Structure 1
Amino acid sequence: MKGIPRTPLVLGLAGLLPFLWGVLTRYIPALNDLTLQIAGPRFVAPYILLFYGTIILAFMSGVLWGFAARAEGETGGLGYALSVVPAIWAFLFAGTGPVSTAIYLIFGFLGVLGIDWLFWKNGLTPRWWMALRIPLTAVVVACLAVVALD
């Protein structure tokens, strides 16, 4: 993760906390019970993983839109079209049941990583972008797999 500016790195890692919390509440019953008492069922697995995953997948559409704005001509048009895919994907496939939603989210995040790579390859992202996105996506996919494989 060398070369990634501090602010995007810290915010990216902080964005993993709800995913990691979901995994912890799935495997540590006492933490699950305490979280239920203090914060309610939205903050334990599988709910936090699926709801937060859906929000972040849609958020990534906005990030990609910003990168598409750097392109011109046909590349720009394709970039804008690709940038809306994650939000539409999240809209269409969230709420289809815990296991299927987790599977769809995993494919959505892997798809975003592919779009990230395409934008990075075309010079639309910062040079360090893939160094950040690959490990973040790996953690997100691993966390969502907890629900997908349940």
Structure 2
Amino acid sequence: MVPAMNTIPRAPLVLGLAGLLPFLWGAVTVVLPDLGLWTAQTIGPRFAGPYVMLFYGAVILSFMSGVLWGFAAQLSGARATSGYILSVLPALWAFFMTGGGPTSAGISLITGFVGLLGLDWLFWHHGATPPWWMRLRVLLTTVVVICLAIGVFA
């Protein structure tokens, strides 16, 4: 049986969902401060509350720049050039916009992930991604933004 073209293959889905764990853990340790305190004392403060989400979020935006670079390689001519230029924006955003305190960094990451979703759509629209790409990216981005919002606004 051939899967539908928009069905997310198991490996990208499982790995994408696993990649949400630091965001989910960060949100849970914000909502449950005792768990956050235990985590900070046991593993270290960088692995609790908004801090795990902020550090990991910057890493993921940088990682996604590499993914978009790979998609730009699927394009040609002016679209490829534009794609390469656009592909570095998430990493630059993470580098320049997350240096403030946890609130401003969290808001910047939320903005960065929403902007990344727009770039995902653009590459998908130009046929540089797998057909299922936007289904995966909308799912993952929604969870990431909710978790970051918990870190910022809770």
* TM-score w.r.t. length of structure 2: 0.93
**2:152 matches 1:148:** yes
Deviation of 1:97 (Å): 1.0
* TM-score w.r.t. length of structure 1: 0.96
| Distance in 1 of aligned mates of 2:12 and 2:134 | 12
Can you give the 5+ residue segments of structure 1 that lack an aligned partner in the other structure?
none
3-state SS in 2 of match to 1:37 = helix
Deviation of 1:32 (Å): 1.5
RMSD: 1.1
- Of 2, 7, 14, the residue aligned with 1:10 is 14
The answer to whether the Cα contact below 8 Å between 2:97 and 2:105 also exists between their aligned partners in 1 is: yes
Deviation of 1:58 (Å): 0.9
Q: What residue number does 1:30 align with?
A: 34
Tell me which amino acid in the other structure corresponds to 1:29: P
| Distance in 2 of aligned mates of 1:42 and 1:64 | 28
Q: What residue number does 1:116 align with?
A: 120
**2:137 matches 1:106:** no
3-state SS in 1 of match to 2:83 = helix
| Distance in 1 of aligned mates of 2:151 and 2:18 | 21
Can you give the 5+ residue segments of structure 2 that lack an aligned partner in the other structure?
1-5
3-state SS in 2 of match to 1:104 = helix
Which deviations, in whole Å up to 9, do the C-alpha atoms of 1:79-124 show, x marking residues without a partner? 0000000001111111211111111111110111001001001100
Tell me which amino acid in the other structure corresponds to 1:139: V
| Distance in 1 of aligned mates of 2:106 and 2:37 | 23
Structure 1 runs (4+) greater than 6 angstroms displaced: none
The answer to whether the Cα contact below 8 Å between 2:61 and 2:91 also exists between their aligned partners in 1 is: yes
Tell me which amino acid in the other structure corresponds to 2:68: L
Tell me which amino acid in the other structure corresponds to 1:119: F
3-state SS in 2 of match to 1:123 = coil
**2:100 matches 1:96:** yes
